[in-house]
Chain A
Amino acid sequence: MTGTPRRAVLGGAAAAAAGFALAGCGSDDDGGGEPKGRKKGEKITLTFWSWVPGIDKPVALWNSKNPEVRVKVEKVSAVDGAQYAKMHAAIKAGNPPDLGQIEYPVVPSFLVDNGLLDLTKYGVAEHKDMFIGWQWQQSVFGKAVYAVPQASGPMGLFIRQDLFDKWGIEPPTTWDEYEAAATAIRKKGAWIETFSATNGNRFAGLAWQAGASWFGTEGDTWTVSIDDEPTRKVADYWYDLARRKLIKTIPDRQNAWYKDVQTGSIASWLGASWGDALLVGNAPKTAGKWRVVPMPQWKKGDASYANWGGSTTAVFAKTKYPKDALAFAIWLNTDPESIKLLIENGYGTPGAKQGYTTSQLDVHKDFFGGQAYSKVFDEASKGVDTSWKWGPATDTLYQRLGDAFTAAIGDGSDFRSVLKKVQGETIADLKEKGLKVKAG
């Protein structure tokens, strides 16, 4: 629907009290009209771009059950956001796949490109109740639903219990205790953690926990408030740890970090639920020594948590077979057998309510000394501030944060200056994209 009537805009703005303002529109208007869809009995093949390890297993299961609608997985690289670069380029070139794996934070950037299909026209709403509420909301803009939730990444603290025990250090429950633990561990010659300058995802999670809200909308204007009080608190906290050399500042999830984790030189990791598979795969010799504890709190006794990552199965606007693509996306993320296969490969905490139990998530129980560790993430998931929304240029934002933190760590300037800088840059970036924007 082109040329949204003013009333629709206002209506959407009214709806913004609950979520995001967007009048129910979102079809691409390049003249193609409605896709005709599949004729009965016609055999088709849908392409699906994903990087999730082992995704081909549930897809093979689907293919064995649905000979008429075959799905072909094309693996895309998830290094440095390469998969999204490829998807954006494909949208621009007019030949995107039918389906794609898209993380929650970057869904809005595809909407700005008119790249995703509004699934409400194809009856996605009837499946709403099968999914966890806040995960569903991550792909809802106005009345339109743009993607099917797959999984999320509630955050927790992975710790080397054996080392904490050996050193006589209690796992921290608050950020103050965390600082004390960092000091104590440093005295033992090891490090509690690294602050990775380039990991914007995790920093966003830390700000999210502290009560920040980086993006919002006012009418048809985007608001940006990266330089807000909660985020400043987080920035000051980590700057202090870095300045006193209580934490490392090497990039995480890179060779040097893996080595530190393998040797116990780094004794904990603020990670997400999908991080279990990552540790199992990269530090197999530390099996049995790890535990998961809740993320430290700002105030003792609080239970506010955050989310890092998580993704959706989205249907691209150009697909010729929207109904079949949607059917597959729903099946992939709700069918118990499919979820079981996905869990085994470490895809995170399912977005579907049914089809699994927390104990099924403990696939790496032995690695965590028999702990029912998914309970920690399950609790965390309940404590995630569900009002958090992402803006339309998250990849750029992460890059901006990475550049500014890189520079700050290099020349020793404080992390508050990073927020100020990135706030200004993000506003400029959104303007550059032709959007209305102001500081929140």
Chain B
Amino acid sequence: MRRVSKAPRRLTRTEARSARAASGFLLPFLALFLLCFIAPIGYALYESLLKVERTGPLGLGGETKQVWAGLSNYAHALEDDRFTAGFGRVLLFGAVQIPLMIAFATALALLLDAASARWVGFFRTAFFLPYGVPGVIASILWGFLYVPGISPLVEMADSMGWDVDFLGRGAVLWSIANIVTWQFTGYNMLVLIAQLKAVPGELYEAARIDGANAWQVARHIKLPLIRPALVLTTVFSLIGTLQLFAEPKVLKPLSNSIDSGYTPNLAAYNEAFTSNNQHIAAAEAVLLALVACVLSFGFLRLVGQRGKDGDNG
């Protein structure tokens, strides 16, 4: 590598102009980034450190003050077993649903990428279509298929002597997993296909000349080459899992098995909008963001490490 001289060098006039131009282009981004990203986070952090104090008889009609709360909102959130149970639940959900969905998406991507596949365009669109259905609508749709008395699925199982309860305590989490998988497998598949398309054809040609069959090509060439896309989709899914909200929110009225803290996001929502307690909600949101950060970066580090080992080996 060429050594960079350490002495600071004055910019030439053209360089200075292009630097100015660059910052001109960057400024709108930075402004938006500050406004839409940093400011809300800062505000949530600030709110999470306050609490309300009311005066006046019965706390009505008097003054309502916001006072410093220290970390008491965080303590409250962490002591709330509903909130912590929600974390356990989404982690279990992620541990099962993410690998399943990614495996499914990868299989579909590989199948559709196989040169001999027919109707590729049609199937690609068909698999992707559920992603176009908003999460709330998807949950309502699936809700109809889960509710006993209405669902043809339950009726069919019933007539065969199976007693299924999609919305029961043990099953409802996996009923939600089914909705999420239905919605996002196609989306992840598209990301994977996009990367597959970027693999130069000569590699396949070389493999075929070496006598590799389709399975071997997929296993030893395609899969390692779409690794970045696999990592990306997994991280997205990880974050998406922690953000689970629409599905349990929509299914809640239909089921006796979803409480108001079923997922951390639902807990924060209810704290803010049902209990009208935005300070605790802010603390819960910050905790959720922290866990999402730790998990995503932890995962990236993990696969980064493994990647390096793989390179060395």
Contact = CB atoms under 8 A, between A and B. Distances in A.
Interface of A: 1-4, 8-9, 12-13, 20-23, 25-27, 29, 79-82, 85, 88-89, 92, 108-109, 111-114, 118, 141-142, 144, 197-198, 217, 219-222, 249-251, 254-256, 259-260, 265, 392-393, 395-396, 399, 402-403, 406-407, 409-410, 429, 432-436
Given A254-B253, A256-B150, A220 B261 contact: no
A403 B253 contact: no
Contacts of A118: 61
Interface in B235-271: 252-261, 270
B58 A217 contact: yes
Interface residues of B, number: 41
Given A259-B149, A395-B274, A111 B60 contact: yes
B253 A198 contact: yes
B270 A399 contact: yes
Contact of B59 (A198, A256, A392, A406): A392
Among A4, A25, A112, A249, residue most surrounded by chain B Cβ atoms (within 10 Å): A112
A260 B149 CA distance: 7
Contact of A81 (B51, B64, B274): B274
Contact of A403 (B53, B64, B259): B259
Given A89-B273, A255-B144, A256-B148, 4 more contacts: A220-B56, A259-B150, A396-B274, A399-B270
A88 B60 contact: no
A287 B288 CA distance: 51
Contact of A432 (B60, B82, B261, B280): B280
B200 interface: no
Contact of A22 (B61, B64, B143, B150): B61
List the 6 closest pairs (A to B, CB-CB), nearest first. Answer: A85-B273, A26-B61, A435-B59, A403-B259, A434-B54, A259-B149
Contacts of A402: 259-260
Nearest to A405: B256
A21 to B, nearest CB: 6
A326 B58 CA distance: 26
25 contacts: A1-B61, A4-B61, A8-B57, A12-B57, A13-B57, A22-B61, A23-B57, A25-B62, A81-B274, A88-B276, A112-B54, A114-B61, A198-B252, A251-B254, A255-B149, A256-B147, A259-B149, A260-B149, A265-B149, A395-B274, A395-B276, A396-B274, A407-B259, A410-B256, A436-B59
Interface string B266-286: 000010011111101000000
Contacts of B256: 197-198, 249-251, 406, 409-410
A254 B54 contact: no
B52 interface: yes
A141 B59 CA distance: 12
Nearest to A393: B275
A195 to B, nearest CB: 10
B63 interface: yes
B64 A434 contact: yes
A220 B51 contact: no
Contacts of A2: 62-63
A384 B147 CA distance: 36
Nearest to B62: A4
